[in-house]
Amino acid sequence: MDISTDIWGQLAVEASQVYLSDGTMRSPFADTTIEKLPDKVLLHIFSYLSHREICRLARICRRWRKIAYDTRLWKNVSLRPEVSGLHVGSLEMLLSLISVRFGPTLRYIELPIELITHTVLHELSAKCPNLTHMLLDFSTAMQLHDFSEMQAFPTKLRYMCICLSEVIFMEGFMRKIYNFINGLEVLHLVGTYEKCEEEEEEIYEVINVHKLKSATPNLRVINLYGINFIDDSHIDAFSSNCIQLECLAVNFCNKVTGSTLKTLVQRSKRLTCLLMNGTSLKSEFVMQVEWDKCALQELDITATDLTSECLVDMLTRIPNLKFLSAGQINGFNDTVLKQWMEQGNTRSLNSLDLDSSDNITDEGMLKFLQRHGHQLSACCLSGMPHITDQLWMSILPMLGNCKIIVMGTAEKLGVNIHVDQLMDTIASNCGNLERLELRWDPDNLRFSDKSQKAIDILRVKCLKLRCMVLSDGRYYETVKANFERADRITVVRTTTCCRVSPYHLLRNYNDLIFN
């Protein structure tokens, strides 16, 4: 077969690019610079950067400025500088950005109180027809803008998050948007529970939930987070109108007692996720619910005061529970675990969080995990001083399918934790691990000169590990340096800025995220 002269010439050119005159090899990309990259490649590179970084790159040259202002890079925009968003100095500048840079490609936007005006909302409605996700932050508001002239609002919203103020009543604004939000599927109302109010201070109902539920009949996911005025009547209101409801979260709403749970379960036939962390549930109300007839699969009752009797009654009657978070409950003990195994259906369970459950013994936990450990994707047994590395060495071989593991307690122990052996055991048994947290105090961790080898084995065998959280100290620095040398810079973090949670396994996790 003849080979044309052109092909031989091309091969000669390629060879000259690979070899220098003295015969040594050179990179075929030695003469390639970033200026020679096509625009579509630069656009793809820019897509990994934050908007702050993109704005800095726009100052480099005209070509980069043009790419930086491509509307495809501005689909999801935060204008809240206190949470890593962009700072917009004036309303005029924002109106210009909406018209010129955001346009039809905008899908998600976060607005602080000073930028929430009827003019801005009108412009978003007119120029951003594909806007589906919006966050409105009123949390620092002392006074609302005048919305009396507001006649338009984005109509294709599927997700809306409203950060409430403690003292500003929202009805004047909400009354103007009720007619535009009936397509909402996901609603977040975020309160200010972290600002612990004195009991004698008056609590204001700053948003009318009963009117809001009438305007949003298509909600699938409702998250009422840390709102001090939310009580059982509000849960009843949503359940009466939202027949599509799949997930209800009322975490840290301490006025919720569960008095309307029975009605909620009866009405909401599609309800599969119920999150009630830090509420004031009463056992008598919880035991009235027809759990055996519900579709519930995911349940969080952390930090409630439910009795052992109530826990047994509930857990043995839920037919298909997959996710259970029940930490910080004095009533959760060996008897509850045993009766749940014997009388309930634990075959579907894939996530178990029993943080700070001090009344569960080593023996009781070991028996449960011997039967069900192989089916768990998340196992969180933190905050219990009696569960040390010795028990974990026995437990880990049963957790071969785990993606999330949390262990250890922040309080100082009278025994030492031999972390090298623990790392070896994790690496040998948990190849699917994605998130790992060790909460033990750094002073309790004991490791040797051979620690690097144990960390190497963990890093090589747990290739899916994307987050490893440790208390700040010598061992944290050792592990972090090891992963950084392997160019896995973002994996190792401290308990100060990161916590591992089994919530990643929730079916509606992406809908429940709010900034």
Name the band, by pLDDT with cuts 50, 70 and 90, for residue 166: confident
Say if residue 194's pLDDT is above 90.
no
The CATH architecture to which 350-514 belongs is Alpha-Beta Horseshoe (3.80)
* Rounded Cα gap, residues 338 and 311, in angstroms: 12
pLDDT at 15: 53
Please report the pLDDT score of residue 360 as a whole number: 94
Closest CA to 70 of 48, 87, 52, 54: 54
pLDDT at 448: 86
Domain with CATH 3.80.10 in the chain: 350-514
Whether the per-residue pLDDT at 13 is higher than 80: the answer is no
Q: Which residue has the higher pLDDT, 448 or 332?
A: 332
Residues contacting 1, CB < 8 A, separation 6+:
none
Neighbours of 489 (CB within 10 A): 10
pLDDT for 145 equals 86
CATH architecture classification, 31-73: Up-down Bundle (1.20)
Confidence band, pLDDT 50/70/90 cuts, at residue 16: low
Mean pLDDT, the chain, whole residue set:
89
Confidence grade of residue 36 (pLDDT, cut at 50, 70, 90): confident
- In this prediction, residues 24-44 reach a mean pLDDT of 75
- What pLDDT score does 497 carry? 87
Q: How far apart are CA 107 and CA 132, in angstroms?
A: 5
The arithmetic mean of pLDDT across residues 435-439, rounded, is 95
In contact, 389 and 419? CB cutoff 8 Å: yes
Q: Which residues belong to CATH 1.20.1280.50 in the chain?
A: 31-73
Give the three-state DSSP class for 319: coil
Cα 399 to Cα 416: distance, rounded to the nearest angstrom:
23
pTM, two decimals, is: 0.88
Quick: pLDDT tens for 149-161: 899 999 999 999 9
Residue 380 burial (10 A CB sphere; 0-12, 13-18, 19+)? buried
HSE of 128, CA atoms in CB hemisphere, 13 A: 33
Find out whether 446 and 417 touch, Cβ atoms under 8 Å.
Answer: yes
